[in-house]
Copies of this chain bind each other. A is one copy, B any other.
Amino acid sequence: MKLTSKGRYAVMALVDLARFDNINPVSLRDISLRQGISLDYLEQIFSKLKKNEIVKSIRGTQGGYVLNKNPNDIKLTNIFHAVDEKVKTVQCKKDSKKGCNGKATKCITHNLWDELEIHINTFFENKSLKDLLNNNKETRV
């Protein structure tokens, strides 16, 4: 079970953004430099964050991104969902009665994987961007 870089970067970038967007929009270039994430990759990520209304963009010189919601209302769940970083403990469809690889029934450990998925998602539900900012916020002069 690995967390992918895409998911990790999305959260890192948003935390960075939240720390610096007091007044002005924050450019991806700045985030890229500060966090050491490829600019091109960041652009892909922010395109998705924007589609999911987590950030807003301001084009042109002095443009950049700003949060579109209160940091308290941006849960890790929302972020991960936006960038398609989903938790998958099984391969079979949830609503189908069929098991993995088109088997007729669900497997004997099926409940376990459901429990695991819930356990992990609970963590993401209960963490907001705000939680990640505590004692951490920098003020732009």
Give A residues with C-beta under 8 Å from B.
Answer: 1-5, 7-8, 11-12, 15-16, 35-36, 85-91, 99, 101, 103, 107-109, 112-113, 115-116, 119-120, 123, 127, 132, 136
A3 adjacent to B123 (CB under 8 Å): no
B120 adjacent to A36 (CB under 8 Å): no
Q: How far apart sit A20 and B117, CA to CA, in the bound complex (Å)?
A: 28
B132 adjacent to A112 (CB under 8 Å): yes
A3 adjacent to B36 (CB under 8 Å): no
B112 adjacent to A3 (CB under 8 Å): no
What's the least CB distance linking A128 to chain B, in Å?
11
Q: How far apart sit A11 and B115, CA to CA, in the bound complex (Å)?
A: 14
